[in-house]
Structure formats: structure tokens, C-alpha cells
């Protein structure tokens, strides 16, 4: 079925064919991911079982609540574009090579230089570096690559389904993998907390529905941003409420962070709201061109700072340890009462600096890969392999075109 039923208007594209507003959202989402890792792995999120929390500790959990949408947002963007594009074996190969290069290079650098912390150099570590997808070095990339492998089936399905069929499928998926875990006061054995490919099938289907048919509620000005803010505040409030229940009754210990899990319905709705808000955003000129220039390198930011060689180290370079211990505070008051502005400043600084470093490293990696490609082009078997893969891309592209008629 063609996209003629689609009601969600497409934003203006850049000369390079990229939608600058969604590419900006991609950058923002990656910075949010950095914030999550800075707060979590920097041990700046105080144990919720602690009876007394100070302003900086509340602020840390509030930032966590507003950034927890990052991964869902990133998958919304991917699903929005993937649902209308064809499966490309060449893209799959590029993804695997990209993950492998980061895994091996920075894993070895971290272990050799002594930068790496909280990870032992053993057989499991070496296997994780050599087989990053299968060994779940980067859980997000493992889930994403598995989702991409399913694209020939998923893409064809969502392009052929009617509005009613796709809408029903999305509601059933969300009910099964999100709503049930969000309302029941127990842990379900099948709940992967959003760290698996199944959850991203749900997000992919929702993004496909949004792309093809739109959601009238989210198309009204301001509603997307309002949905994002309200849901994030509910995530924070729900987390603090569960904490109070635990402190008063000693029950629900395993549920304390339930609202902060990727497949919680509030996290999903907040991501949908933020996506809708940026979808309506209009940016142009040099800023749009700049965003479209750096956005393709954002995945490298994740692969760099979440590498096992750096995963638990870089937070200390941006003051997490000092913040945690109150070393940066002065005066006679309890340091935790004075550290909220410092926490915010150091968190933002870490997000900006790590993002910039990741973009630069990925740019250098791309230049290296292009140089190697030009050298390998002189080898006959390599040229034949590239032509074979290009032929496979073409066959899947023809199928995608037929399925959208």
C-alpha cells in the first residue's frame, strides 16, 4: 500500500537530503545518552533506599528522568527512516565493521594504557573485543543490528499493512511489552526492561505508524513538547513515590527504578512527544547545514565512550569522583547542599566535550576507512565483492519499491 494515506507531513530537507530537525534530535539524544552514562557510571545517582536526599541528589535523578528517553528517541528516528527504506547488506557490513573497529581499537588502548577500570583483561574480555555484536559489547548495537537483520521482513510488513492493521499491531505490542510491566507491581520474567531487540521492534512499528499515518494529537503545536515534559515529570514523581512506599513499608524494592526503564510506557510516550516536537521544528541556514554535517557521526560518540576500555573511566576526567565526595564544595554548610549547580555544570560540560570528541574520532575513522577502500580497490577480488554486495542492495531495493506500490 502506498504512502498516500500518510497524514504526517515531512519536514523540509537539507540539500544533502537529510531532515535537519530530526538530525538535531539525533545529536540531542546522543548527548542525553552521555548524561545517563555520566550520572550512572559516575555513581552520581544516590541509592533510592537512602532515607535523606539532598538537592544535588534530587537534581541527578531529575536529569536522569528527562534523559531516559534518549535510546527510545534514537530508535524512533531510525524506525522513522528505516520503515520506508530498503534493507542494504552493504549498510549491515558497514555497521559491523564500525562496531568492530571501535571495539578492538579502544578496548586494547584502554587495557594497554591502564585507563580501563572495573574490567579484567581475560579471555572473556578478548572475546568481547573480537566479537562485539555476539558478545554484547554494546547492548544497543547488538539490539540494533538484530533489528536491522529483521528489516527485510519488518519493512515489507509495515509498508503493506493498512492503517487499522498497523495500529492494532502497535497497540498489541505496546500492551504486551510496555503497558503490562508499567502497571503491575511485580517483576515479569519476560520483561527485558528495553534492553533487547523485541522492544525495538515495538518502537520501530510505532515510528512506522507515525511516518505513514501520523497521530493527530501530536500534530497540534506544543503538544509534543508538553507530552515530553509531563511524562518526564511523571517518571521522576513516580520514582520518588515508589521510594517513599519502600521507605515506609519496606516493600517494592525491586520496583524502585521501574519508571526509569526504557520500555516503561511513560518513557515511550515521552520519547514520542519529544520526537513529535522536533518533527515540527523548522531550522535552516548554516545551523541546519552544520547539524546535517555532524549528525552522521553521532553513532561513533556512543561507540567511543561506551567501549569497555573507557566505559568506567571517562566520568572521573569530568569530575564525577570529586562531585561524589564533595571535594569541589567550600564553606561550612553540608557540601551536598551546595553542589547542585556544580553537578549541572559538570554534567553539561561532560556531555558537550564527550560528544565533540566522539564526533572528531568518528570523522577520522571515516577518513581512514575511505583511504583503505581506495587502496583495496586496486585488488580484483575486493572489487568483485563490492559489486556483488551492490547487486544485493539493488535486489532488496527493487523489492521495497514493489511492496510500496
Q: Write out the H or E segment, with its range, that includes residue 331.
A: none
Return d(Cα 89, Cα 191) in angstroms, integer.
31
Cell reading at 55: 538537592
Q: What angle do CA 143, 145, 146 make, to 5 degrees?
A: 65
pLDDT at position 5 is 41
Return d(Cα 17, Cα 292) in angstroms, integer.
9
- pTM of the predicted model over 0.95: no
Q: Where are the domains of the chain?
A: 3-403
Query: What are the pLDDT digits (tens) for 62-81?
Result: 999 999 999 999 999 999 99
What totals of helices (H) and strands (E) does the chain contain, helices first? 20, 0
Q: Which residues of the chain have pLDDT under 50?
A: 1-16, 327-337
Half-sphere exposure of 308 (CA within 13 A, CB side): 28
Q: Is 225 helix (H, G, I), strand (E, B) or coil?
A: helix
Return d(Cα 123, Cα 130) in angstroms, integer.
11
Q: Write out the H or E segment, with its range, that includes residue 281.
A: none
pLDDT at position 404 is 60
Return d(Cα 365, Cα 369) in angstroms, integer.
6
Cell reading at 178: 510496555
Distant-in-sequence, close-in-space partners of 275: CB < 8 Å, separation ≥ 6: 25, 73, 76, 77, 80, 207, 210, 224
Return d(Cα 386, Cα 397) in angstroms, integer.
16
pLDDT at position 403 is 61
DSSP 3-state helix, strand, coil percentages of the chain (rounded to 5)?
70, 0, 30
Cell reading at 146: 538484530
Amino acid at each position: 500500500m502506498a504512502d498516500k494515506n500518510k497524514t504526517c507531513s515531512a519536514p523540509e530537507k537539507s540539500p544533502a537530503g537529510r531532515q535537519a530537525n530530526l538530525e538535531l534530535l539525533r545529536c540531542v539524544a546522543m548527548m542525553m545518552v552521555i548524561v545517563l552514562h555520566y550520572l550512572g557510571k559516575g555513581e552520581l545517582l544516590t541509592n533510592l533506599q537512602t532515607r535523606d536526599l539532598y538537592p544535588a541528589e534530587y537534581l541527578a535523578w531529575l536529569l536522569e528522568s528527562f534523559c531516559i528517553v534518549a535510546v527510545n528517541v534514537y530508535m524512533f528516528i531510525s524506525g522513522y527512516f528505516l520503515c520506508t527504506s530498503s534493507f542494504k547488506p552493504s549498510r549491515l557490513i558497514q555497521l559491523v565493521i564500525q562496531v568492530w573497529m571501535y571495539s578492538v581499537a579502544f578496548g586494547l588502548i584502554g587495557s594497554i594504557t591502564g585507563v580501563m577500570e572495573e574490567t579484567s583483561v581475560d579471555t572473556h574480555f578478548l572475546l568481547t573485543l573480537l566479537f562485539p555484536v555476539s558478545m554484547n559489547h554494546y547492548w544497543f548495537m547488538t539490539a540494533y543490528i538484530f533489528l536491522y537483520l529483521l528489516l527485510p521482513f519488518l519493512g515489507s510488513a509495515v509498508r503493506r499493512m493498512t492503517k487499522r492493521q498497523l495500529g492494532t499491531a502497535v497497540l498489541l505490542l505496546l500492551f504486551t511489552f510496555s503497558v503490562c510491566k508499567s502497571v503491575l507491581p511485580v517483576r515479569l520474567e519476560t520483561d527485558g526492561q528495553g534492553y533487547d531487540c523485541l522492544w525495538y521492534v515495538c518502537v520501530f512499528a510505532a515510528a512506522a505508524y507515525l511516518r505513514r499515518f501520523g497521530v493527530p494529537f501530536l500534530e497540534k503545536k506544543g503538544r509534543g513538547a508538553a507530552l515530553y515534559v509531563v511524562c518526564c515529570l511523571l517518571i521522576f514523581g513516580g520514582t520518588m513515590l515508589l521510594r517513599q512506599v519502600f521507605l515506609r513499608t519496606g516493600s517494592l524494592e525491586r520496583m524502585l527504578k521501574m519508571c526509569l526503564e526504557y520500555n516503561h510506557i511513560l518513557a515511550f510516550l515521552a520519547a514520542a512527544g519529544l520526537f513529535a516536537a522536533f518533527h515540527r521544528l523548522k531550522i535552516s541556514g548554516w545551523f541546519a547545514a552544520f547539524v546535517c554535517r555532524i549528525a552522521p557521526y553521532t553513532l561513533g560518540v556512543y561507540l567511543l565512550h561506551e567501549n569497555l576500555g573507557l566505559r568506567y573511566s571517562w566520568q572521573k576526567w569530568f569530575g564525577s569522583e570529586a562531585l561524589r565526595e564533595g571535594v569541589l564544595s567550600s564553606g561550612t554548610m553540608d557540601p551536598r547542599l551546595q553542589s547542585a549547580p556544580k553537578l549541572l555544570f559538570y554534567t553539561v560540560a561532560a556531555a558537550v566535550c564527550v560528544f565533540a570528541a566522539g564526533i572528531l574520532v568518528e570523522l577520522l575513522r571515516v577518513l581512514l576507512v575511505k583511504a583503505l577502500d581506495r587502496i583495496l580497490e586496486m585488488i580484483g577480488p575486493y572489487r568483485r565483492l563490492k559489486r556483488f554486495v551492490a547487486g544485493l542492495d539493488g535486489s532488496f531495493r527493487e523489492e521495497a519499491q514493489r511492496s510500496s506500490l
